[in-house]
């Protein structure tokens, strides 16, 4: 069994060890006898319908975002079609912003987004930096916490009725005020959490893998056989505690 991952713009959007997320997916898949094949998608490369079980977009600063935004926006329909067809997306930070409708930087310059997530992002004066802890409730895994680190000036405003990834327990989240973090559309997840995200949140890595396998096989996702995650759980507990004790406060 094989999962095909499309890694969008790895040479531009990679500032928060985003490759670490892919490494976690690769390893946890291999431990279940599943091969993860990662294909880079650069500027102008084709995005063929149905080719990828999972699309990954990492984080980057405004400069890198501006370089890839027109290319990503032009792929909007292809990405929305892929998600409508059950493909998985994980988008982190800068990639999460650009999968919305638009990103407006501090100078007022607007970058077009791919229009997958129902949100817009406007850069604010104060950066939102710090450890962050969320409570999420994704189908099949019940209520779980997600721990990570955030560093963004953009404030992401979800449309009415949009589904966030989670509720902020500690930290800033989408905008430092709404108590919401990330966004979810079908099997697509966008979030500000990096660090990287998946090593200390193995349950999310497994959720993504299970959904990607369901895309490949057809039908509903089935939970993966559990792994011995003592170290990962410890990493999660340390990060969660750090967020609780000194996570970013609310933005002013
Ligand atoms: N433009 C982004 C910001 O809000 C960059 C986010 C990121 O990937 N660090 O700062």
d(CA 49, CA 111): 25
The pLDDT score that the predictor gives to residue 247 is: 63
240 lines ligand 1 (CB under 6 A): no
Q: Is 194 a catalytic residue?
A: yes
What is the rounded average pLDDT of the residues 25-30? 98
Is residue 84 classed exposed, middle or buried when 0-12, 13-18 and 19+ CB atoms within 10 A define those classes?
exposed
Residue 248 pLDDT:
60
**Could you identify the atom of ligand 1 that is nearest to the CA of residue 60?**
8
User: pLDDT tier at 200 (50, 70, 90 boundaries)?
Assistant: very high
Pocket test for ligand 1, best of 56, 94, 193 (most atoms within 8 A of CB): 94
Identify whether the C-beta of residue 166 lies closer than 8 Å to the C-beta of residue 135. Answer: yes
pLDDT surpassing 50 at residue 251: no
Confidence band, pLDDT 50/70/90 cuts, at residue 252: very low
- Residue closest via CA to ligand 1's atom 6 equals 94
Q: Where are the alpha helices (DSSP H) in the chain?
A: 18-30, 62-74, 76-84, 94-98, 202-217, 230-246
74 alpha carbon to ligand 1 midpoint, in Å? 21
Query: Which of 7, 52, 119, 194 is labelled catalytic?
Result: 194
Verify whether ligand 1 is closer than 6 Å to residue 151 (CB atom).
yes
Place of tokens 């973090």: 181
Q: 211 pairs with which residues across the strands? A: none
Using a 6 Å cutoff on CB, does residue 95 contact ligand 1?
Answer: no
- Does 191 contact ligand 1 (Cβ within 6 A)? no
Measured between its terminal Cα atoms, the distance across the chain in Å is 49
> What's the mean pLDDT in 139-150?
93
- Tell whether ligand 1 has an atom less than 6 A from the beta carbon of residue 62: yes
Question: Whole-prediction pTM value?
Answer: 0.96
| Sequence-distant (≥ 6) Cβ neighbours of residue 56 within 8 angstroms | 5, 6, 7, 8, 18, 21, 22, 89, 90, 91
């Amino acid at each position: 069994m094989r999962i095909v991952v499309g890694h969008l713009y790895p040479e531009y959007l990679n500032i928060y060890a985003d490759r670490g997320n892919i490494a976690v997916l690769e390893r946890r898949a291999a431990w279940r006898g599943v091969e993860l094949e990662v294909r880079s998608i650069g500027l102008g490369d084709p995005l063929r319908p149905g080719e990828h079980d999972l699309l990954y977009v990492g984080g980057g600063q405004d400069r890198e975002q501006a370089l890839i935004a027109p290319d990503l926006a032009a792929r909007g329909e292809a990405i929305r079609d892929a998600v409508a067809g059950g493909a998985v997306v994980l988008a982190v930070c800068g990639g999460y912003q650009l999968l919305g409708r638009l990103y407006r930087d501090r100078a007022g310059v607007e970058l077009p987004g791919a229009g997958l997530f129902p949100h817009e992002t406007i850069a604010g004066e104060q950066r939102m930096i710090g450890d962050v802890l969320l409570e999420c409730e994704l189908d099949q895994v019940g209520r779980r916490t997600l721990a990570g680190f955030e560093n963004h000036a953009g404030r992401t405003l979800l449309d009415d009725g949009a589904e966030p990834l989670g509720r902020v327990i500690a930290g800033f989240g989408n905008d430092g005020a709404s108590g919401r973090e990330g966004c979810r559309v079908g099997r697509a997840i966008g979030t500000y959490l990096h660090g990287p995200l998946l090593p200390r949140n193995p349950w999310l890595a497994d959720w993504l893998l299970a959904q990607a396998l369901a895309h490949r096989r057809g039908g509903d996702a089935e939970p993966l056989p559990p792994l011995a995650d003592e170290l990962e759980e410890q990493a999660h507990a340390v990060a969660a505690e750090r967020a609780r004790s000194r996570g970013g406060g609310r933005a002013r």
